């Protein structure tokens, strides 16, 4: 968490406490390495179930955050859960793309690992969910501890 604190801290509201920061890749915007038919099939499989929920649901408002060199961060504070991108210079303030009150996050579900990265779902109070990847299983466990299992 400390690595991204300088980029995230200025985005907090007065009196808001930073709880956790996780580097993630939204499944909806995930792309593997390579080209050709194999990569296309792999990318399509990675996106299955990336977002569930009807139009207007919380999950449908979550950004895909495709491509680029920016790090994608899931930020948990004492008040809200947010999605922030940070450029190569992590000392600069990140860009807040999405946020919701913590109360609308129902739980974090660890999903079966089908690739090198750990997959999880952020489930919301309206029944919708968004899937993401992260490099470490312990990141998913920490998020689940903060946001619910």
Query: Residue 65's pLDDT band (boundaries 50, 70, 90)?
Result: low
Q: 69, 59, 53, 4: which is closest to 26 by C-alpha?
A: 59
Contact 40, 107 (CB under 8 A): no
Query: Any idea what the Cα angle at residue 37 is, between residues 36 and 40, rounded to 5°?
Result: 90
> How confident is the model over 100-108, as a mean pLDDT?
96
What pLDDT score does 70 carry?
81
Domain positions in the chain are: 2-147
Tell me the β-bridge partners of 95.
85
Instruction: Report the C-alpha gap between 81 and 102 in whole angstroms.
Output: 6
> How confident is the model over 37-43, as a mean pLDDT?
43
Phi and psi, residue 7, nearest 5°: -85, -25
Residue 146 corresponds to which tokens in the numbers above?
A: 């903060």
What pLDDT score does 85 carry?
93
What pLDDT score does 42 carry?
43
CATH architecture of 2-147: Roll (2.30)
Q: What is the value of pTM for the model shown? A: 0.83
């Amino acid at each position: 968490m400390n690595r991204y604190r300088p980029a995230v801290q200025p985005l907090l509201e007065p009196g808001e406490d930073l709880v956790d920061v996780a580097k993630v890749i939204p499944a909806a915007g995930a792309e593997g390495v390579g080209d050709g038919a194999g990569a296309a099939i792999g990318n399509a499989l990675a996106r299955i179930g990336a977002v569930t929920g009807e139009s207007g649901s919380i999950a449908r408002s979550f950004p895909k955050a495709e491509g680029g060199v920016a790090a994608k961060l899931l930020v948990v504070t004492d008040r809200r859960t947010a999605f922030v991108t940070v450029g190569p210079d992590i000392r600069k303030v990140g860009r807040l793309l999405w946020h919701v009150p913590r109360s609308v996050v129902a739980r974090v579900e660890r999903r079966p690992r089908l690739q090198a990265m750990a997959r999880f779902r952020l489930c919301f109070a309206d029944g919708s969910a968004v899937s993401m990847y992260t490099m470490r299983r312990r990141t998913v466990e920490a998020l689940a501890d903060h946001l619910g299992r």
